[in-house]
Structure 1
Amino acid sequence: MYFNIKSNQINFIYHFPICFIVLNYFQCRLMVILVTGLIIFGFLHGKETMVDILNYLLNKGDTHRTLFHNKTTLDKDNKWQNTYGSSAIDSEYLTFERTLHTNGILDEIIDPRTKFIVYDCSKARKDQNGGWSDRIAGIMTTFIISVLSKRKFLINFDMPCLLQDYVMPAHYDWRYNASLLVNRTSSYHNFKNAKHRIIAKYMFDGVDFNRFFKDDVIFLQMNWDFIADFRKRPNVAEDIPWITTYHQVDIYKHIHNFLFKLSPLSVRALHNFSTTQRRRKRIACAHIRRGNNPNMPKDVFRKALPLDPVWEVFDSLNKDEYDLFVASDSDSIKKKAKERFPDNIVDTPGKITHIDRPHTNDPTEGFLKQLLDFYIMIDCDILIVPNHTGFSKLAAFIRNKNYGMYCQQENNLVPCSRYTITDIFPRGKFGIKPTKK
């Protein structure tokens, strides 16, 4: 069995006998057991997985591990950055990352022939982009299109504020810079909602995307998820093996953690929330969306779900063990929660603001507040998700727990998990699309 062992691995193996000189007998025995176990694991699971794990062990916390830009990571030991919006390295994630590197779109070398796909959520377009879940769904779809079209993936996001001020590149530098337009042609395409049908045959029928995308730099606006549709594309497994084998929510989780990590600004804000608000070990969260209301007068109307099922779950919890958090687009809902659970309710600072319809509020303050709400829900021990919103569904996709979830259907709360939420709520941007919009 042949392994493609790199220089740092050779140095590790070459210096292994020195342990018998500089380490005591018991430490050496432990090292022998660990290395033997790793070799056996490689024989059982394949050389690529073993080499990836060895690479990770040797490079942990050191670099972005051969991806796009080789930059030192922000303090890997930072508790808050590791807690929110990140997941442990596992063999599934390593396989996901390796396939991205293999197909060439993550190569560090950029030359005049390099072509790009850019998810565009910029002020330059003067168009609505939807809320956070619309934008993440659009980023996911654009990322998959970039893999299928073998183009570099970038994000141009400054609406209402610069994305990298709040979430930064994790293992791939997606930051757009206008200088790449020098001596390159470009074009803009709006495929939001049902407008994606313009390129349906390229997305789903297997026709080469580059027969439609003629220019060097393609700017896209998208806001729907098409994972289920991409799976029907002929021979899609040759380009994206994981799209046919991973669950939809795990694809979201892996791509999210591959692309994003919290910025120092967001880390500090979450640290402040934890130190000033949190008093108990566990936290239970509910998302309650009202739509058009005094806080969001320009939002669409949404059917109000009853509050009693949510309050009943909160009532049943041991108040000495649980803090309670309500993410909502309505101050009146937050007021009711505070009145009912005055000693346990915690909250994030700032005014409630829809990031695409800020009304008179400060959009940057509103952007940080909704981002804090999102990452708090990712880390909740109990999460209640309503039917008619993508915000908490997306948090459920990315959370690290597969338990402690309820899906609200009218008067009922149904126990659910990351893997069943789209079965219970099959329609919307992450599932069955409307026929006309």
Structure 2
Amino acid sequence: MILNQRKQYSKCKSTSSLSLWPRLVVYLSSMPDRWKRRVKVYMVAIMLVSACMTYMHYRYLTETKLRRRPLEHTSEILRNNIHGKVTEVKDEPKAVTKEVNAVIKEVTAITKEVPNDDEKYLGYVCVRIGCNGWGDRLIGILTAYVWSIIMDRKFFIMITHPGPLTDVLLPNKVNWNIAVPSNLRAYTNIRLMGDEEFVESIKHGAPKLMNITSKYIAFNNNFDHITPIGQNPVFMAKLHKHGYNMTNFNFRRVLHDIYTELFKLTPDLRQRLEIVLYQAKHQGQKRLVCLQIRIGKSSTMAKDRRHEVNKHDVHKFWEFADSHVDSSEDKIFITTDSETVRNEAKDRYGKRMLEIPGEITHTDWFEPTKASLGMFKLILDFHVLQHCDVIGMSPSGFSALAAYQKRPFEDVYLFSNHEFVLCPDINSDEHCMTRLGPPPFPIYPKKANQTSKPIPSTAYPKQNHQTQSNYNIPNEANQTKPSNTRYETASIDYDQTNKHTVFG
């Protein structure tokens, strides 16, 4: 009997010495069938949760690797990964090349400045879905910057959705890349989406905003505050002291100045822009005719609720482009939200057509990874439109904000009510910046010497165009290092919930 007990004990001891997984298999094999099914479900659920957590952790590490590493490590990352920016470097400090200096400047722009305890901040924040497209975001950024000047606060931008803004745009004359708190509870959130009452209150000093004393303000807006600000004597004095010309001060006139004060393209995107513009006019005699065609709700943009251009009107854009082409050497640049329209343009114009390659996306409606990659195409499209000789655009904040940075501002046409209308002069009280809402869109006022009817798409007057041989593309030689003045900024995005937007 004692011998049998010892044998059983020895058998149990050998079983217990097995590793965890064999013991688990032995245990599961002895379970009833109903328990086995339940355990399988639990194990599958645990594996799925583990996979999701692993993926989220990987995304976090990928997105924050530059911010988490010291400056010297970040510099090394850029040296190894920025294509065409770094050549072979000799050991002697005096032999450091211009390319390396450019990389160091870029590292400085990416490295965030630590907030000052004695300063107060106002900026634009977008860390999740709901910020809308680039047009709405840019209006929020520009108005937030102007308010930061008026309120004597440092400006920052904190955009992380769908990806960091510094992937495509870097600070230029104003350093807006500040390491502000990531916890949104640290901010006083001023959200003025579609708030027309606030626009009216600007002439009375905007007490709703000016009376805030908290350290951090997250300012979200999609209305033109800049034009009414230029009508308030107190605010005008602040802006004049900052260096702005207050003569005929309005959103459309200062858009170009503020944008270039805040932003410059990353070296990679600047190089790509130069290539596109070289293809357009490398002989100095070609003209670039640009079309921005926003169809609206389609198979490409299923979440878009508006129909901007009827599919039966697309041919009028082709007629518009054909009427402004002077020779077979002229190029036609196309940007659109419809894959169908893009393919139709390729079939029609062939090698004469220019476009930025890439998938058509929306900054707020697509999966973050895809939308983040789409930001490269979006920003390049935005900058190419600024260099066009002729622009034919559909009602869109994106195209209007690009067109009003065109210098000189001429030959810009808005497609409205099935016809093209010549946009008034930039100094005029009339404008082509549309109310972004459900159609129909109004026909905007025309110049005094323009006919009362919209210009037919087949009878566009050709003017004596003086072709510019060069495009003013910012480069390392004329770009200013971000200043350490009190007007420093960090990326900011705002959520859009209103049903319409007013530009300018």
* Smaller-chain TM-score bracket: 0.5 to 0.7
Distance 2:365 2:142 in 1: 23
Structure-2 residue corresponding to 1:219: 218
Query: Paired residue for 1:265, among 268, 282, 301?
Result: 268
1:351–1:361 Cα contact (<8 Å) kept: no
1:16-415 alignment, distance < 5 Å: 111-121=116-126, 123=127, 126-178=128-180, 186-195=186-195, 197=197, 203-207=202-206, 212-241=211-240, 242-243=245-246, 245-274=248-277, 281-305=286-310, 306-316=313-323, 317-359=325-367, 362-386=370-394, 388-415=395-422
Distance 1:351 1:180 in 2: 31
Deviations 1:39-86 (A, max 9, x none): xxxxxxxxxxxxxxxxxxxxxxxxxxxxxxxxxxx98xx9xxxxxxxx
Structure-1 residue corresponding to 2:12: none
Distance 1:250 1:259 in 2: 16
- Report SS of the residue matched to 2:260: helix
2:115–2:178 Cα contact (<8 Å) kept: no
- Report SS of the residue matched to 2:403: helix
- Cα offset, 1:318, TM superposition: 3.2
Taking structure 1 as the reference length, what is the TM-score of the superposition?
A: 0.66
- Cα offset, 1:427, TM superposition: 4.4
- Cα offset, 1:208, TM superposition: 5.3
- Report SS of the residue matched to 1:364: helix
CA shift in 2, pair 1:202/1:312, >3 Å: closer
Q: CA RMSD in A?
A: 3.5
1:407–1:421 Cα contact (<8 Å) kept: no
> Computing the radius of gyration over CA atoms, which structure comes out larger, 1 or 2?
2
Structure-2 residue corresponding to 1:30: none
The percentage of aligned residue pairs carrying the same residue is: 24
CA shift in 2, pair 1:243/1:153, >3 Å: farther
- Cα offset, 1:367, TM superposition: 0.8
Of structures 1 and 2, the one scoring higher in RCO (CA 8 A, sep 6+) is 2
Distance 2:140 2:265 in 1: 20
CA shift in 2, pair 1:262/1:435, >3 Å: closer
Deviations 1:330-379 (A, max 9, x none): 01111111222123111111100011111587112211111111111111
- Report SS of the residue matched to 2:410: coil
Distance 2:211 2:259 in 1: 27
Runs of 5+ unmatched residues, structure 2: 1-97, 103-112, 445-496
2:192–2:220 Cα contact (<8 Å) kept: yes
CA shift in 2, pair 1:247/1:342, >3 Å: same
Structure-2 residue corresponding to 1:56: none
Moved more, 358-367 or 420-429: 420-429
1:284–1:322 Cα contact (<8 Å) kept: yes
- Report SS of the residue matched to 1:384: strand
CA shift in 2, pair 1:208/1:234, >3 Å: farther
Taking structure 2 as the reference length, what is the TM-score of the superposition?
A: 0.57
Runs of 5+ unmatched residues, structure 1: 1-73, 79-107
CA shift in 2, pair 1:153/1:277, >3 Å: same
